[in-house]
Structure 1
Amino acid sequence: MSSDRYAIVREDLHRRYGQYFYARTIDELLDATIAEAEAKAKIDTFLPITVEREVSEILEERAEAKGRSGTARPEVLFVCERNAGRSQLASAITAHAVGDRVFVRSVGLNPVGGIDPQVLEVLQERGIATGHLYQKEIVPRTVHRANVVVLMGVDEVPGIPGDRIERWDIADPAGQPIEKVREIADDVERHVKELLVELGKADYAA
């Protein structure tokens, strides 16, 4: 498995091709390409760029060969201060609800301290996977133009491209007892349900 230097490449590939290929297919191709490129490279400064280009070309060819086409998935970006609690809850609950039918991201203005362990515990109680979650900051290559940008606990609207900006009045789980974090997760889920209905994903099943 590659280091985190390829994390953004991986996200980009899932964003662009997740509607055509299983996540495992994309990951296996990317990991194989990374391993081959790193074994051959004498200078690895630009490997993420060259790897992304090579994998993209392969996936494009495979998609065209199968005659696959379709409307791009709606994209939702969840933003909070540290990307430790609310935005992680929202992104994980959304992804669990609709799978790859919506492309979901979460970022923080100041992502420090790791993901709140109580948040991870509550998600796991609900049978929601957490192994893929990690804190992310807002940098140009991690923020694509989203259909909806959801701000939680952020006063100023950051320079994030989006067709629509929403503010969710969600309590911060930081330092809260586990019972309160569960209530916050319920509140997040209610907001997620409403958003998915608006996005035409009304078959959400709790």
Structure 2
Amino acid sequence: MLFVCARNSGKSPMAAGLMRAIADTKIAVYSAGTNPGTSLDDLSVQALLDVGVDITGEKPIDPQLLSDVDLIVTLAREVRIEPIDGVVMENWNTAEPSERGIDGIERMELIREDIAGRVTGLATRLLDTPTSESRQPPDNGSPSED
């Protein structure tokens, strides 16, 4: 799965880091930007370090990855990616506290909490997807007819 924001310096690395913390190695997670910057936002890094998630190793992703993943989540209404055959796309209109005059670390903490809730819900959906074994009808204990 791939999280995408505009610069890949704040929201998408935060989402990727939070998903890795929840899903461990059960889900391959990447982040990217439609207009990637050259570094991570220091306050994004700090907001995640405050909850034990380190995203300092996050790097830009090759555009080829867009067609190699099965799910792309964009993290803002202004982030646009053309539909890709076989790839499910979701858009999260994440909170932007700066629109309410909230800046600095408080802004990043609010963004972190918004993204964390969404990532938790997505991880639950992805990790709790029934397998073919769990879709079998329950054994009700009655003898089978032969």
Instruction: Normalising by structure 1, report the TM-score.
Output: 0.54
Instruction: Map 1:45-124 onto structure 2 (within 5 A).
Output: 76-124=1-49
Whether the 8 Å contact between 1:146 and 1:161 is mirrored in structure 2 is no
Q: Distance in 1 between matches of 2:42 and 2:5?
A: 17
Whether the 8 Å contact between 1:143 and 1:161 is mirrored in structure 2 is no
Q: Distance in 2 between matches of 1:173 and 1:110?
A: 22
2:119 is the alignment partner of 1:181: no
Aligned pair partner of 2:92 in 155, 159, 168:
168
Q: Sequence identity, in percent?
A: 25
Greater RCO (CA < 8 Å, at least 6 residues apart): 2
Q: Distance in 1 between matches of 2:90 and 2:9?
A: 19
Aligned pair partner of 1:158 in 75, 82, 86:
82
2:24 is the alignment partner of 1:125: no
Consecutive unaligned residues of structure 2, counting only runs of 5 or more, are 130-146
2:70 is the alignment partner of 1:143: no
Q: Distance in 1 between matches of 2:56 and 2:41?
A: 14
| DSSP 3-state at the match of 2:16 | helix
Call closer, same or farther: CA 1:129–1:190 in 2, change over 3 Å.
Answer: same
Task: Write the letter of the residue equivalent to 2:91.
Answer: R
Q: Offset at 1:181? A: 0.7
Residues 150-159 or 80-89, more deviating: 150-159
Call closer, same or farther: CA 1:85–1:161 in 2, change over 3 Å.
Answer: farther
Whether the 8 Å contact between 1:145 and 1:160 is mirrored in structure 2 is no
Consecutive unaligned residues of structure 1, counting only runs of 5 or more, are 1-75
| DSSP 3-state at the match of 1:103 | coil
Call closer, same or farther: CA 1:108–1:159 in 2, change over 3 Å.
Answer: farther
Q: Which structure's residues are more often helix, by fraction?
A: 1
Q: Offset at 1:146? A: 2.0
Q: Offset at 1:198? A: 1.2
**Superposition CA RMSD, Å:** 2.4
Whether the 8 Å contact between 2:45 and 2:56 is mirrored in structure 1 is no
Call closer, same or farther: CA 1:173–1:116 in 2, change over 3 Å.
Answer: farther
Call closer, same or farther: CA 1:84–1:105 in 2, change over 3 Å.
Answer: same
